[in-house]
Amino acid sequence: MEWRVIELETHDAYTNMAIDHAVSDAVSSGTALPTIRFYKWLPSAVSIGCFQSMDDEVNIEECQRLGVDAVRRRTGGGAVYHDSKGEITYSVIGPLDAFPTGIRDSYAMICGWVIDGLSGLGINAEFAPINDIVASGKKISGNAQTRRDGVLLQHGTVLYDLDVRTMFSVLKISKEKISDKMIKSVEERVTKVRNFTDASQDDLYKALMKGFTEGKDYNVGRLSEGENRSAAHLASTIYCTKPWNFSR
Amino acid sequence: MEGTARQKVPGGKLLIVKLRYGSRIEGAQILGDFFLHPEESLKDIEDSLVGISYDANEEEIARVVGAVMDRERIEAIGITPEAIANSVKQAMKNGMESNRA
């Protein structure tokens, strides 16, 4: 199978989610190849799972004060703080028959590409079902999947660095919990590439690119005009809107 | 009356149930960091809770939710019909307690 790989791009949260949606639609209609894309978030953003409440999970006032975007994903899972300098995000979008039928097995397959990438930096990571990757027993990558219209979309992040204090200020956790003790507790459960290596973020990207593409027939490509139009439309009519982001 | 229950499903994900109810459930919202395929089917589960008697027990509620999940071929990760039923009863209990207080 031939893949399209879209090299690292930086967009705001609404555009990033809209691109995943637009590419999923294009793959579903057969107008785009199965696609792997890498991206970052500018400004930094919070994304919440599609079954979460924005008001319950996110401190919107603090997001506005800090200029942090807040968006609802199409996928389930939890609220994530995407630091513009602290992570690399990827999406894998392909027809269902390109992946194992079982949800757990399909997570394992795609997470395996991340694990291969991290091993290129000397980081020994492993799949932690259902949707995480851990290194030294701590979460280094979270993932979420949706399956619609014959297409599987999995997006996930690899933590390069982590600004725990900002994360706590934009995610709704009571002020009392933003104590050093709580931060320590997060650092006991979550880890980052920087804890294992001096590799730069560009090194991480190159390692992930290798992990995702090795052994695959692929072309480096870009979004078609139709996908760009569709993404712009989806961003403005869904992902930027209050009815979507505050639907729960 | 309104009631909310939060639980980390054993071996699963966070599940929050918000209920509006009198002698029967009038409205239900299910929230959390679980996964459900297809995602739109959560509304079918929420709708299936409406009309359930306040006196229904967990087994009865789980049966209703399980039937919808079977019928709509819903695949859930991190929550189960039993966990939803447990949270529904807990939300009713919490609603009663906060109403008394």
Q: Model confidence over B39-60: pLDDT tens digits?
A: 999 999 999 999 999 999 999 9
Q: Do A51 and B36 touch (CB under 8 A)?
A: yes
Reply yes or no on whether the pLDDT at B24 is more than 60. Answer: yes
CATH number of the domain that B31 lies in? 3.30.390.50
- Enter the pTM of the model: 0.93
Residue A175: per-residue pLDDT = 54
More confident call, B26 vs A162: B26
Those residues whose C-beta lies under 8 Å from the C-beta of residue A83, and which sit 6 or more positions away, are A41, A44, A161, A162, A163, A166, A167
Return the domain boundaries, chain A: 2-245
Q: Do A147 and B37 touch (CB under 8 A)?
A: yes
Q: Do A56 and B31 touch (CB under 8 A)?
A: yes
Query: Could you say which residues of chain A have pLDDT below 50?
Result: none
* Alpha-carbon distances, residue B31 vs A76, A122, A186, B76 (angstroms): 10, 38, 23, 13
Reply yes or no on whether the pLDDT at B34 is more than 70. Answer: yes
Contacts of B42 in chain A (CB under 8 A): 51
The C-alpha of A49 sits at a distance from chain B's nearest C-alpha, in angstroms, of: 6
Question: Which residue in the set B13, B29, B38 is minimally distant from A248, CB to CB?
Answer: B29
Phi (first) and psi of residue A93, to 5 degrees = -130, 115
- Quote the ipTM score: 0.94
Q: Do B31 and A52 touch (CB under 8 A)?
A: yes
Average of per-residue pLDDT across B73-77: 95
The C-alpha of B101 sits at a distance from chain A's nearest C-alpha, in angstroms, of: 23
Pick the CATH number of A2-245 from 3.40.50.10860, 3.40.50.1700, 3.10.150.10, 3.30.930.10: 3.30.930.10
Domain count along chain B:
1
Average of per-residue pLDDT across B57-85: 97
Question: Which residue in the set A52, A130, A147 is minimally distant from B32, CB to CB?
Answer: A52
Domain of B25, in residue numbers: 2-100
The C-alpha of A103 sits at a distance from chain B's nearest C-alpha, in angstroms, of: 9
Contacts of A103 in chain B (CB under 8 A): 35, 37, 75, 77
Residue environment code for A85-112, b if the CB has 16+ CB neighbours within 10 A, otherwise e? ebbbbbbbbbeeebbeeebeebbebbbe
